[in-house]
Every structure is written in structure tokens, then in C-alpha cells.
């Protein structure tokens, strides 16, 4: 907290004056929140190892709810800078609540918590040894986002905020599908036992199955970002001072980020497979390559390229997200090629991916047609009338193409509706 002014000079060198002072104050307020979120991550690790996935991934909703309530209660009669400070305090409270909802279940699973400096089985030593490579390998998305924010601070005012809006939408499918499926698969993959050939076959089967599930949801996310991104952005952000022109600006940045969305989510699952093989070094090497490439290409695409092409300097942010996407594709290709040498051929079948893209683009074209002729002015209603049919048509097309994931999803939906229709069990 004492070093915050020096850290801001490194993280956001383009900030100065009132903007810099406000940033320093907010970072100092948020510092306890960081520690609390570390404890939340510890709870997540314990719960995941016991195959408890729902609670740790729902807990952040409480954090966000606390911030929404903070804005709702204190959102009037304050300047924008004052509200930013109040929201930072709301984040700290939300972080504490996020830990609090997980802790009782964690303590029950552990049957109490006995603190000790002893390490008789060497588990702590293993964690310490694996920390740095896993930190970089798993955190490459966050590291890349940090580099993008640093470079965006060199661009005109508004670039950092617009990048933040786009990153929130971009990381949503990564978290919902890439991280969730990878987190669920890692304990199962790590627990695989048997001979070397059995382990290879099991890992390959689970990896390929996970890739199909990720692709089924990520491909339509990319199509929606590219074709209907203005509708998505407007529905979430367009109100008050955030106007249609701002939505179009964020859409351009989001479209650039979508370039690497499939690669980023696939890469998560490949990294989990390496971790199941007790290999943390290979994902580390490729993550470092990705970060270096993101930095070099990001600067070139964001700073000198727009003026050279006669484009407004603010659109350099879109260059940042495109360069990050290129780097994520390189990382994914390297991860897959190296792992295939160890466990055999892996990957989502090309015919399956083509079917997903055709279904997503056909559904997006229909959504675009509705968007063009729709006269509704409300961004939220417009999103309902455009994105609703888009999602339904995507499932209809994938079912028509005979894709297993679509059929299984439909069957689960029907079972859920029947269960809800039957009401609660008697007695």
C-alpha cells in the first residue's frame, strides 16, 4: 500500500494528475480485497478437490451483488470520483462475503483446520515448487490483460475504460466454459490410474470430450461477438453517458478480442491435461512465449500502426486485443503439438467445428436480419428480440446437424422442465 504510487507508475504510466491520484487511492482501498480473494481461491481449491464445483463458482456472484447494492444505495448525490471510491469499499465488503459463504463447507470437508508449519508428506514443498509455473501458465489471460491495460494507458482518454468493458464480456465465455470445464476435468484427469497406455487413452478421451463441450458454447459466443456485438454491448452498458457511439467503440474492441477466444478456452483444457501429467514446465514455456508476443505485437498494433494506416489513435485498443488473440493461437498450437506427441492425436474434429460455425453463422445472420428491421429503441428489449432467437436457432441448427452435445442438452432441458412441472416431492 505504501508503494502504490510507484506501482501505478509501472502499471499505468500514462496516468497523471487527478486520474493518477484517484487510481492510487482506489488501489489502496482495494488492497484488503486482494487478500480476501486469495482466501477465496484457497477455498475454491479445497472444494474442487472434493468435486464441489457449484459453490466456489457461484460465490463471486455475491461479490458482484455487494458492488451492485453499493451503487444502488450510494449512486445518487455523488460525483463520479466519489462514487468510484465508494464502490471500492463495496468491493472489499463483497470479497469478505465471498469467502464467508464458502468457509463453512470448507471447514466441514476438512473436519476442522489444524495449522502447522510441519510438512511430513512434502505437499507444501510440491505446491511451492509448482507455484510459479502454474501462476504464469494459469494466469496468462490476466497477465495479457494487464499488458493490454498498460499499453492502453498510452492511448487517448477512454481507451482503458473501453478495454475494461470489452474484457468483461470477453472473459465471460472463458470463465463460463473454458475455466469451468477445465476445472472440472483436472481432478478426474489427475486421478487417472493404470498403465501408461491406459493413462494416455483416458486423458485423450477426456480431453477430446472437453474440447467438444467447450467449442459447442464458445463458437456461438465468438459469432455473437463478431456479428451482434453492438447489441450485446448496448444491452449491458448503454445508459446515462454511455451512448450508441460508445457501444460501437467497445464492439470493435470486443470483436478484436474474439479472434483468440477459441484458442484461449482450448488452451485452458490442454494446460489442465499437462498438469494431470505432473508437467507444469511445458505450459509455462508457452505461456511466456504468449506474454512476450502479446507485448511486442500489442505495442506495434496499438501505437505506431493506427497512425500509419490513417486510423484514429483510439482504435489502437482493438489492435491490442487482436494481437492478444494471435498470441493465444500460437500458445494453443504449441500446447497441442507437444501434447499429441505424448498421448496421441487430440482435438475437436474439423467436421464438428465446421458444423458449429455454420450453425452459429446462420443463426447470427437471422439475428442480424431481425436487428435490421426491428424498431424497438430500448437496448435491453432489442437484445431480447435479437439474441433470444439467435440462441434458439443455434440449438435448432445443431440438433438438425445431429450433434450429440445439442441433443444431450435438449434432453437435459426436457428432464428439468418435467421435474419443475411435477412440483416438489410429496412428504
Vertex 253 angle, CA 265 and 91, to 5°: 75
> Which set of grid coordinates corresponds to residue 108?
466441514
DSSP notation for 240-300:
TT--HHHHHHHHHHHHHHGGGHHHHHHHHHHHHHHHHTT--HHHHHHHHHHHHHHHHHHHH
* pLDDT above 70: residue 406: yes
- Nearest alpha-carbon partner for 107 in 184, 35, 46, 45: 46
Asked if residue 166 lies in contact with residue 253, where contact means CB atoms within 8 angstroms, the answer is yes
Mean pLDDT of the 405-426 span: 76
CA angle 242, 247, 251 (to 5 degrees): 150
- Residue 287 reports pLDDT greater than 50: yes
| Averaged pLDDT for residues 179-197 | 82
What tens digit of pLDDT does each residue of 30-70 get?
A: 988 889 999 999 998 889 888 888 888 888 889 999 999 99
Q: How confident is the model at residue 322 (pLDDT cuts 50, 70, 90)?
A: very high
Which tens digits make up the pLDDT trace of 2-35?
888 888 888 777 788 888 888 889 989 998 888 9
pLDDT at 194 over 90: no
Decide if pLDDT at 119 tops 90: no
For range 261-286, the mean pLDDT: 91
Predicted local distance difference test score (pLDDT) of residue 427: 46
Average pLDDT score, the chain: 88
Q: Which residues contact 30 (CB under 8 A, 6 or more apart)?
A: 88, 91, 92
- Indicate whether 149 pLDDT > 60: yes
Q: Cβ(399)–Cβ(407) under 8 Å? A: yes
Q: Which residue has the higher pLDDT, 412 or 65?
A: 65
Distance CA 61, CA 94 (A): 9
Q: Has residue 339 got a pLDDT over 50?
A: yes
pLDDT at residue number 396 = 94
Cβ-proximal residues to 255 (8 Å cutoff; 6+ apart), any chain? 225, 226, 229, 318
Label residue 128 by pLDDT band (50, 70, 90): confident
- Rounded to 5 degrees, φ, ψ at 345 are -60, 135
CA-nearest of 394, 343, 399, 402 to 365 is 394
Predicted confidence band of residue 159 (pLDDT cuts 50, 70, 90): confident
Predicted confidence (pLDDT) per residue in 345-378, tens digit: 999 999 999 999 999 999 999 999 999 998 888 9
Mark 143-175 as b/e (b = at least 16 C-beta within 10 Å).
Answer: bbbebbbbbbbbbeeebbebbebbbebbbebbe
235-244 pLDDT, tens digit each: 999 888 889 8
Q: How many helices (H) and strands (E) does the chain have?
A: 18, 0
The DSSP secondary-structure symbol of 113 reads -
**Quick check: 424 pLDDT over 70?**
no
Sorted by sequence, the CB contacts under 8 Å of residue 150 that are 6+ apart come out as: 11, 12, 13
8 A C-beta contact, residue 47 and residue 102:
yes
Question: In this predicted structure, which of 93-97, 112-116, 173-177, 309-313 has the lowest mean pLDDT?
Answer: 112-116
Q: Tabulate helix, strand, coil % of the chain (nearest 5).
A: 80, 0, 20
Residue 122 confidence (pLDDT)? 83
Please tell me the distance from the alpha carbon of residue 7 to that of residue 26, in angstroms, as a whole number: 13
Q: What is d(CA 147, CA 287) in angstroms, rounded to the nearest whole number?
A: 14
The answer to whether the beta carbons of residues 130 and 87 sit under 8 Å apart is no
**CA separation for the pair 225, 171 (Å, rounded):** 12
Res. 425: pLDDT tops 70: no
Q: Torsion angle of alpha carbons 149, 150, 155, 160, nearest 10°?
A: 30
Mean pLDDT of 374-398: 93
Amino acid at each position: 500500500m505504501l508503494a502504490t504510487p510507484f506501482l501505478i507508475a509501472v502499471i499505468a504510466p500514462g496516468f497523471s494528475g487527478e486520474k493518477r491520484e484517484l487510481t492510487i487511492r482506489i488501489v489502496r482501498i482495494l488492497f484488503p480485497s486482494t487478500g480476501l480473494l486469495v482466501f477465496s481461491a484457497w477455498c475454491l481449491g479445497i472444494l474442487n478437490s472434493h468435486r464441489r464445483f457449484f459453490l466456489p463458482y457461484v460465490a463471486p456472484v455475491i461479490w458482484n451483488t455487494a458492488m451492485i447494492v453499493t451503487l444502488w444505495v450510494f449512486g445518487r448525490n455523488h460525483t463520479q470520483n466519489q462514487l468510484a471510491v465508494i464502490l471500492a469499499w463495496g468491493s472489499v465488503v463483497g470479497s469478505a462475503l465471498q469467502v464467508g459463504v464458502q468457509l463453512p463447507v470448507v471447514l466441514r470437508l476438512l473436519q476442522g483446520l489444524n495449522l502447522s508449519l510441519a510438512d511430513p508428506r512434502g505437499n507444501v514443498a510440491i505446491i511451492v515448487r509448482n507455484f510459479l509455473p502454474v501462476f504464469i501458465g494459469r494466469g496468462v489471460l490476466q497477465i495479457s490483460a494487464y499488458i493490454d491495460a498498460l499499453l492502453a494507458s498510452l492511448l487517448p482518454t477512454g481507451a482503458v475504460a473501453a478495454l475494461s468493458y470489452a474484457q468483461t464480456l470477453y472473459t465471460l465465455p472463458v470463465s463460463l466454459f473454458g475455466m469451468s470445464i477445465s476445472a472440472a476435468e483436472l481432478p478426474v484427469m489427475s486421478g487417472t490410474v493404470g498403465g501408461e497406455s491406459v493413462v494416455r487413452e483416458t486423458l485423450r478421451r477426456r480431453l477430446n470430450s472437453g474440447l467438444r463441450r467447450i467449442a459447442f458454447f464458445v463458437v456461438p459466443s465468438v459469432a455473437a461477438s463478431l456479428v451482434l456485438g453492438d447489441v450485446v454491448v448496448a444491452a449491458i452498458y448503454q445508459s446515462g453517458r454511455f451512448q450508441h457511439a460508445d457501444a460501437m467503440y467497445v464492439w470493435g474492441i470486443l470483436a478484436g478480442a474474439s479472434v483468440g477466444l477459441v484458442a484461449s478456452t482450448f488452451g485452458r483444457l490442454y494446460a489442465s491435461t499437462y498438469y494431470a501429467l505432473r508437467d507444469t514446465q511445458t505450459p509455462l514455456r508457452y505461456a511466456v512465449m504468449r506474454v512476450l508476443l502479446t507485448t511486442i505485437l500489442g505495442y506495434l498494433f496499438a501505437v505506431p500502426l493506427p497512425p500509419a494506416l490513417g486510423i484514429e489513435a483510439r482504435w489502437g485498443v482493438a489492435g491490442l486485443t487482436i494481437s492478444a488473440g494471435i498470441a493465444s493461437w500460437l500458445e494453443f498450437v504449441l500446447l497441442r503439438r507437444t501434447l499429441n506427441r505424448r498421448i496421441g492425436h487430440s482435438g475437436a474434429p474439423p467436421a464438428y467445428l465446421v458444423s458449429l460455425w455454420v450453425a452459429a453463422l446462420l443463426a447470427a445472420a437471422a439475428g442480424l436480419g431481425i436487428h435490421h428491421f426491428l424498431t424497438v429503441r430500448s437496448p435491453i428489449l432489442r437484445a431480447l428480440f435479437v439474441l433470444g432467437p439467435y440462441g434458439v436457432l443455434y440449438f435448432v441448427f445443431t440438433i438438425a446437424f445431429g450433434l450429440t452435445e445439442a441433443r444431450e442438452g435438449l434432453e437435459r432441458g426436457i428432464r428439468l422442465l418435467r421435474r419443475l412441472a411435477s412440483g416438489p416431492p410429496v412428504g
